[in-house]
Amino acid sequence: MDRSRRAPWPAAWLVLTAAAITACAGGPSPDGGPTQPAGSAFTTPAMSSSRRPGVELPAGFPVIAGATPEQLQPTDEPGIIARWSSDQVGPVAYDFYVDALPAAGYPTTGLYPGGAVAIIGFQTPSGERWELVLTLDDGATQIEVRLAQP
């Protein structure tokens, strides 16, 4: 079989693989995560609403500079806490969050870089497990914070 002519794996497969890896991951990163990058901006998007009572994005949660908040829709999955988009390409946004989450008090529990989808598992100050999911979408990066899958 000529492998040079094989089609790349579909994005849906990458999403399922990333979700499966996240579900099987355990424990915090051994080094406690990197420190806050110089000049990074920590802000919380204005429109962050969850459809789960009592679950909201905490004030001061790190959000990459220039991100645009998106309103959650009734058709969204119930575990989504907040969503925004950025014109920063996926690897730039991923690197920002790898540094910014631990620096803001959210230790990482798993790092899963990827092509079209990347996931960062982290823990809230109250001990809940959440995920930050970055998805490339038509030249922009969509960023979601969601409850970690069991």
pLDDT tens, 18-45? 443 333 333 333 333 333 333 344 444 4
Distance in angstroms (rounded) separating the CA atoms of residues 67 and 63: 7
Asked if residue 1 belongs to a domain, the reply is: no
Count how many domains the chain has: 1
Asked if residue 2 belongs to a domain, the reply is no
Tell me whether residue 44 is exposed, middle or buried, using C-beta atoms within 10 angstroms of its C-beta: 0 to 12, 13 to 18, 19 or more: middle
Whether residue 126 is contained in a domain is answered as yes
**3 occurs within a structural domain:** no
Domain membership of residue 81 as a residue range = 8-50+58-147
Q: 16 in a domain, yes or no? A: yes
Q: What is the mean pLDDT of the chain?
A: 73
CA contacts within 13 A on the Cβ side of 119: 23
Taking the complete model, does pTM exceed 0.85, yes or no?
no
